[in-house]
Amino acid sequence: MSDDDGRIDYSIYSYAELVQAKNSIDAAKYPKNFNNLSSALSLFDASRSSIGDGNVVSHSGKNSSKYRTPVGKHGLIEISLKKRYVAPLRVVALLLSLPFLKELFEIVVTGEANMKGLLVVRGENWGYYAELCKVLLFSLFLLWLGTLGVKAKDEQ
């Protein structure tokens, strides 16, 4: 057993890093680290199995709210609200998406984008595509939020 055994905090590592560490650790030389690593992996496995429940999943293997994300049945972020707030939020999100959709249409049709006061033309440099992607992502996010991203919370 080494003097450094048991001093590593495995709660800050990603799942891939934990798996890699488990494949390379010498369990005989570092038994405490091996046990801590196995515990961290089992917490990760438990949190991954609860994704189908629509629970809040801790990505660090701990119950720390710093790393918690609302996860839906298919691993997508899902917002659950009281039933009376769902329809208004959907309407607001769809209305907010309209200016982005208009701008997206204009960018694609004209081949020009206004990037912080600078006119960028399709094919001249990366600025056109950066602005196109930004507007596309904002509009898709708001459309998703207005259609599939908000669910009514089950009253319990």
Residue-wise pLDDT tens digits, 46-91: 655 544 444 444 444 444 444 445 555 555 666 778 888 888 989 9
Assigned token pair, 156: 């319990």
- Residue 122's contacts (CB-CB under 8 Å, 6 or more residues apart) are 111, 112, 128
- Residue range 12-28: mean pLDDT, rounded: 84
Which is higher by pLDDT, 74 or 13?
A: 13
Tens digits of residue pLDDT in 94-140: 999 999 999 999 999 999 999 888 899 998 888 899 999 999 999 99
Q: What are the residues facing 56 on neighbouring strands?
A: 70
Predicted confidence at residue 113, as pLDDT, reads: 93
> Residue 33: pLDDT band by 50, 70, 90 thresholds?
confident
Give the position of tokens 């496995």.
45
